[in-house]
Structure 1
């Protein structure tokens, strides 16, 4: 019961929704110029995912930590 209340509180935070929207757009913008030899769609998709994880994980953790640990 308490966990459900905590999830409701977190989902009401505008910073969480802002990160849900801007994080993928930011990663796509940064990784759209990266190229893979042979233009294989699967390899390009993997490259986008790696760029998303490496660039944004530390920033999102720092931004969302006060929301989850208050």
Structure 2
């Protein structure tokens, strides 16, 4: 079964890591409206563009998305 983007992103949460990706993961965790079941790039991107004021740059999302796709190819 395919892992959702949110599930993958939660593997990046680390309270001791103050990098952009860990920060994105923590803020997405705190965002109760985050589309947790979504696997579609456009839907997630649109959500973050409208609601992801906690993202310093959409390039952070793009980087994690590429990692997510790579993990799906390896694991799936």
TM-score normalised over the length of structure 2: 0.34
Q: Which has the greater radius of gyration?
A: 1
